[in-house]
Amino acid sequence: MSTTSICVRPDAGCGVEVERGGRVRVVAPDGGQVGDVFAYSGDDPTEFLSASHTRAWTSRLFPKVGEEFVTTYRRPILRLVGDSSPGVHDMLIAACDPRRYELLGAAVHPSCAENLRIGLRSVGREPGGVVPQPVNLFMATPVGPDGEISWLPSPSRPGDRVEFEALMDLVFVLSACPQDLVPINGSAGPTPLVLEVT
Ligand SMILES: [Zn+2]
């Protein structure tokens, strides 16, 4: 059983094809870094991991170990099988995109939406027009009792990692979020993540 390890920089996404039963780990070597995860059915690019369908599946806002993530067709696609981090992840917030940065005053800026397209092309897949709402690993956006969302720095520590099991043949795309205008990444700013596939 071999393991492939890929460094994912904040200005370029990375995609990998994973067979059913395969394991994917996302490691934050420096900590304090958000990672946007996207997953597509290997057979049908119009079927992908959906955060909103997953929230209905698990009756939770945020993922926890043992739970499944489901697709737009409500089929399990990934299971969260390990998490050495404080366990704080987001399933509410859209991927950052060029318009988000434009509104924040940056005319040219890398984004998770563009990184998704780069990641899909890296495995020969042509991106569609839709950017799915990702699972935002290590991202702290707690919801208060009044429904207000807070934007907090990622609490992940150096070397923290999460592990997924592939529940179908799939394409997994990771973006190390390049957000440096809203303080969701650590004080060091955006740093690379490592993607390991076994
Ligand atoms: Zn982002």
pTM of the model: 0.96
Q: 143 C-alpha to center of ligand 1: Å?
A: 19
In the three-class reduction of DSSP (H, G, I as helix; E, B as strand; rest coil), residue 61 is classed as coil
End-to-end CA distance of the chain: 7
DSSP 83-136: E-S----BSSSPPP-HHHHHHTT-SS---HHHHHHHHHHHTTPPP-S--PPPEE
Q: Which of the pair, 5 or 120, is modelled with greater confidence?
A: 120
Q: 95 C-alpha to center of ligand 1: Å?
A: 5
Q: 176 C-alpha to center of ligand 1: Å?
A: 7
Instruction: Assign 116 a pLDDT band (cuts: 50, 70, 90).
Output: very high
Q: Is residue 189's pLDDT more than 80?
A: yes
Q: 12 C-alpha to center of ligand 1: Å?
A: 11
Q: 179 C-alpha to center of ligand 1: Å?
A: 5
The mean pLDDT of the chain is 95
Q: Is residue 1's pLDDT more than 80?
A: no
148-159 confidence digits (pLDDT tens): 999 999 999 999
Number of Cβ within 10 Å of residue 148's Cβ equals 8
Q: Is residue 7's pLDDT more than 80?
A: yes
47-69 confidence digits (pLDDT tens): 999 999 999 999 999 999 999 99
141, 158, 159: which is closest to 150 by C-alpha?
A: 141
Q: 79 C-alpha to center of ligand 1: Å?
A: 22
DSSP 124-160: TPPP-S--PPPEEET-B--B-TTSPBP-B-----TTE
Instruction: Assign 14 a pLDDT band (cuts: 50, 70, 90).
Output: very high
